[in-house]
Amino acid sequence: MRHLQTLRLIEAVAKAGSIRKAAEDMNITSSALNRRIQGFEEEFGAPVFERLPRGVRLNPAGELLIQHIRGQIAELERVRGQVADLSGLRRGHVSIACSQALQPYFMPAQIAAYRAEHPGVSFTVRVRDREAAEEDLRAFESDLALVFEPAHLGDFDVLLTVEQPTYAVMAKNHPLANKEKLRLRDCLGYPHVVPPKRIGIRYLLDLAVARMSQKLESTIEADSFEFMRHYVQNEMAVGFQFPIGLNIDKDERLVFRALPKSDVAYGNLTLMQMKGRTLPVASARFANQLAMALSESWQAFSPDRRSG
């Protein structure tokens, strides 16, 4: 375990970019931390850090080592989860990176349901756009990612993909609120609030308007869907969001209208993990629960099924 602690120290230095700062974070002296790293490098047979005037950074050997370190730590956590299962404790920790659309309703409900069955399991939830979530998986910062329109699927094992239509969101007194069949061109005729380009729904909107004579000329660009839902109550504006992030049947302040797939392609909400990684027990079980819940959510949010 002492060797593992050294690996954790190396990872802390890599994250901090400074031996002094990492030492403060790890509550040891800079000189002691430097000696541990130098001792490891001597035993390892190669330096792993490039010393800079104002800190350190991993060299190519260090980059290879850090991936090994993260894999070893993740594997140890997986084995710990298995041992806890053997003893009947059912403890563990689940870390998940997910799109902000999952934050208001879906993810809190899923975690609460899981912990009702497994109260010994703790969670870390990181709000990430699609590329940041992928980086979390690569760095073993998260066990799972649940994001819209992932960019590099070849690097990951996809556990499930479900489609989500794009919904227009507006105040109840908006001129379009009484229009049952809404088109994207109708929405673009009014001020509209959109997320930045790194967000999955913006990617789909950009693809859609590329085929149109109208343009996406947003009044407001904001990286918060909560801001968008509040803003459209203050101006005759239209926002756009996936239904899994909306309280469609209970929110009486807003009106939600699904846009046809012919106007805006459905978004792919993808549950994935790092390719080839064996998940800890708690994370694997939570992934199974998410997959079942997402499959059910598609039946709830499909415009065809809702209209039927």
In 175-270, alpha helices (H):
184-187, 200-209, 225-231
* C-alpha–C-alpha distance, residues 153 and 158, integer Å: 8
Strand 192-194 vs strand 267-274: parallel, antiparallel, or unpaired? unpaired
The topology under which CATH files domain 90-161+268-307 is D-Maltodextrin-Binding Protein; domain 2 (3.40.190)
Region 2-66: CATH code: 1.10.10.10
pTM of this prediction?
A: 0.70
Q: What does the pLDDT read at residue 73?
A: 73
| pLDDT over 50 at 307, yes or no | no
CA distances from 247 to 161, 164, 186, 202 (A): 21, 15, 23, 20
Q: Which tokens in the block code for residue 149?
A: 């329109």
Domain ranges of the chain: 2-66, 90-161+268-307, 166-265
Mean residue pLDDT of the chain comes to 86
**Which of the listed ranges 53-62, 93-102, 289-298 does the model predict with the highest average pLDDT?**
93-102
Mean pLDDT of all residues in 107-135? 93
Q: How many angstroms separate the Cα of 92 from the Cα of each of 74, 79, 171, 208?
A: 12, 10, 43, 43
Q: What is the pLDDT of residues 141-159, one digit of tens each?
A: 899 999 998 888 888 999 9
Distance CA 302, CA 248 (A): 12
Query: pLDDT digit string (tens) for 53-62?
Result: 888 888 888 8
Q: Do domains 90-161+268-307 and 166-265 have the same CATH topology?
A: yes
234-265 tens-digit pLDDT: 999 999 999 999 988 888 889 999 999 999 99
Burial letters for 141-153: b for 16+ Cβ neighbours within 10 Å, e otherwise? bbbbbbbbbbeee
Residue 200: band (very low, low, confident or very high) from pLDDT cuts 50, 70, 90: confident
- Residue 298's pLDDT is what? 64
CATH of 166-265, one of 3.40.50.970, 3.40.50.2000, 3.40.190.10, 3.40.1350.10: 3.40.190.10
pLDDT value at 192 more than 80: yes
